[in-house]
Amino acid sequence: MAGTSEWVRAVGDADFAAEVLASELPVLVEFTADWCPPCRMMVPVLAELAAERATELRVVTVDVDVNPETQAGYGVLSMPTLMLFSKGEPIWSAVGARPKRWLGQELTEALTRARAAA
């Protein structure tokens, strides 16, 4: 499945609620597809971020071709779509590939806002 590595786990319709919505840590979800070139560009970026931030967040991928219920449930139309979930709710999202530094900064800002609102 696209985007999986030692630090990035693939999840699907059957385990999305348990792996993402019920997670104690925030979870960055990449909605992806094997046929998507920008998604392939995100594989090393997500793997590095997942390894570097393993104590503060988890990173998972959802293959939209295999998991249409989750894709439809969150209105995902373009790949890659990135969504950050905290306490079972999406708190940030973006469409398209991005450099690691840029994505890291966006995640830090979103997590800071979520902590301040809690």
Catalytic residue positions, numbered: 36, 39
pLDDT of residue 115: 87
Average pLDDT over residues 8-37: 97
Domain assignments of the chain as residue spans, ordered by start:
8-117
CA–CA distance, 32 with 78 (Å, rounded to integer): 9
Homologous superfamily of 8-117? Glutaredoxin (3.40.30.10)
End-to-end CA distance of the chain: 35
pLDDT digits (tens, 9 = 90+) for 59-116: 999 999 999 999 999 999 999 999 999 999 999 999 999 999 999 999 999 999 988 9
